[in-house]
Amino acid sequence: MFCGLPLGAILGGIATAQLLPELGWRVVSWLGGLLPLALLPITWFVVPESYSYLLTRPGGTLGRAEWWPPRGEWDP
């Protein structure tokens, strides 16, 4: 978490420095808006819900979170 934000800023700055002289600011701006939208479906299916939300979910099923944490180690 702490490494991801600075790393993304560095990589974004490097990419911008390479694209800006050749393609202009409009392309860089479009890419800055479209890339997060392109990653949204991946994030939707890969990142799980929080454990506390899954515990309060109607039906009582936890889905992928049933294996963690091991029983008896977490008290909601």
Summarize pLDDT for 21-66 with one digit per residue, the tens. 999 999 999 998 999 899 999 988 888 777 777 677 766 565 555 5
* pTM of the complete model: 0.55
Higher pLDDT, 2 or 5: 5
pLDDT for position 8: 84
pLDDT band at 72 (very low <50, low <70, confident <90, very high): low
Distances (CA, A) of 22 to 5, 7, 25, 27, 28: 26, 24, 9, 10, 10
pLDDT for position 76: 55
